[in-house]
Amino acid sequence: MNLEVIILAAGQGTRMKSPLPKVLHPVAGRPMLQHVVETARALQAKAIHVVVGHGAEQVRVALDDSALTWVTQEQQLGTGHAVLQAMPAVQPDSTVLILYGDVPLISAATLERLVAVAVSAPALLTARVAKPAGYGRILRDEAGALVGVVEHKDASDSQLLIDEINSGVLAAPASDLQQYLPAIKNENSQGEFYLPDVLAMAVADGKAVATCMAESELEIQGVNDRVQLNQVEREFQRLQAEQLMRAGVSLADGSRLDVRGVLHCGVDVSIDVNVVLEGVVTLGDGVSIGPNCVLRDVTVGEGATIHAMSHLQEADVGAACSVGPYARLRPGTVLGAGARIGNFVETKNANIGLGSKVNHLTYIGDCDMGAGVNIGAGTITCNYDGANKFRTEIGDGVFVGSNSTLVAPLQIAEQGFIGAGSTVTRAVDKGELAVSRARQRNISGWQRPTKNKD
């Protein structure tokens, strides 16, 4: 069986009150539509067709996926009309699965069950919900067979009492859709061409329309406003937290972790509260992340510890390193194994060698640092002259005293020693001591200033 997926993503989403197309609003750091595309790929779909309309070019650019087939719905005339626009690109012997770009929690397992029963006739994904207002209701005969779907605005009082609702997710042989979609009428309160009308047509032709029940109401939750967006976000994060804990990750509080991208974890990883992980983050075996940390596109080697309140972006932290608390590792930072970055330290585009220590109140930027280096508190590398950036090169075993200023371009050879309070502008050779500061004078008999007595 060839499976092709049509994703409807043409709506404007006026209730979002945003110029951003609705399907591009993020869930877990990625556009809603991206989640649906990835689920479709998990089904091994032969082709994925995305129907766009409002903000079509913006949607294409945001996904930047050449493997997708893009279809434009010039006028948004309903779901049936949207699917019809994509049908010319669908192979006639395929089974077609219809998804929605604003329903990001739908699972591949649920969709596999639906596709499996759509071999010779359409099949519909339904759900039972406590508050069905706004949803189309499932109509069944006395034997329990589906006979059609009535939209909420067109339902009678008795039909509004039905709690089984239409999720909108439908699978059908392509030949059925080719036959029924052109015949849909828009004789309803909205004046739209409703996709579920194909179900009643199939029933009228004597076909048995199958249904599958969704695992949960949230799985088929569509996003129409910011409240629903938040509901979907929190459910997505809950599911991710559960998966992590079942995989052996220790979470101090699963409800206070946000994974906004892709997370790869080794064994015995520990993550404290209020941690945000963005982009692609890889945590090796035994890594510990303290509370209130943000990691974006970061790799952390085994046994490393990221202490509280630290912010890391596009950094590579080696094994057994210690970072923070209150540290900021900016893009291009690479820490060798066993390196230590302490409180109120900022690094950028810097290579910190094996076992080197930058423990407090320091800025290290555009720097190549060897192994076993000790950087004293208050040290800065002056890497910018107002127009260009320059590098500082520090050899193995160098000691830099507190409150030193290293003016790049600068080379400090191995075992060099910088006296505290120095401003270093010239190269320091191997084993040399560099001191650059005013000579101290002690003045005897000096009197402190006193306040005027007015």
Please give the single-letter amino acid code of residue 9: A
Q: How deeply is 254 buried, as exposed, middle or buried, from its count of CB atoms within 10 A (0-12, 13-18, 19+)? A: middle
Half-sphere exposure of 129 (CA within 13 A, CB side): 20
* Residue 275, token pair as written in the block: 């941690």
Taking the CB of residue 35, how many other CB atoms lie within 10 A of it? 21
Which one from 25, 49, 311, 360 is the annotated catalytic residue? Answer: 360
3-state secondary structure (DSSP) of residue 312: strand
CB 154 within 8 A of CB 241: no
Nearest to 81 by CA among 69, 63, 98, 59: 98
Please give the single-letter amino acid code of residue 170: L
* Residue 175, token pair as written in the block: 């030949």
3-state secondary structure (DSSP) of residue 306: strand
- Is 264 an active-site residue? no
Please give the single-letter amino acid code of residue 337: A
Taking the CB of residue 217, how many other CB atoms lie within 10 A of it? 16
CB 303 within 8 A of CB 309: no
* Residue 170, token pair as written in the block: 């439908």
Nearest to 250 by CA among 283, 281, 279: 283
d(CA 313, CA 302): 18
3-state secondary structure (DSSP) of residue 422: coil
d(CA 147, CA 395): 79
Q: Which residues contact 62 (CB under 8 A, 6 or more apart)?
A: 24, 31
* Residue 319, token pair as written in the block: 């094994």
Please give the single-letter amino acid code of residue 189: S
d(CA 426, CA 252): 50
Q: Is the peptide bond before 325 cis (omega within 30 degrees of 0)?
A: yes
| Residues known to be catalytic | 360
